[in-house]
Amino acid sequence: MAAAFLIVLGHRIIARRHRTPFGEIDIIARRGKRIAFVEVKHRQTRAAAEDALRARQAVRVARAAAHWIGQRPAYAEYEQGFDAVFIVTGAWPVLVRDAYQPVGTSGRTF
């Protein structure tokens, strides 16, 4: 559902459930010159979905994203974002761009 939602918003899905030595990235999507590493959270409420974004996950996704980019130098110059799609029971999905950022960058820091 999250991937279909991103496609409707103009993203091209590059990978789903991509596994790296550092962990899994739920969705990797491209829109223009921006690569989004997307965490998908399905919860009963948006607040619960937001609370599910943890510091440990941010570190894991940042390492996995760096590994992914390292394996694909063609994407090294793209803007990178760490987004989230919240799937909430009984509501449309919500995309939050730059939902979190690894320490040392702007956005919600962990």
- What does the pLDDT look like over 50-85, one tens digit per residue? 888 888 888 888 899 999 999 999 998 999 999 999
List the single range of 41-45, 52-56, 94-98 with lowest mean pLDDT.
52-56
**The CATH fold of domain 2-96:** Trna Endonuclease; Chain: A, domain 1 (3.40.1350)
Half-sphere exposure of 9 (CA within 13 A, CB side): 19
For CA atoms 4, 2, 37, 60, the dihedral sign is negative
Q: What is the pTM of this model?
A: 0.87
The SS3 call for residue 99 is coil
Q: Check if the beta carbon of residue 37 is closer than 8 Å to that of residue 65.
A: yes
Q: What is the mean pLDDT of residues 32-47?
A: 94
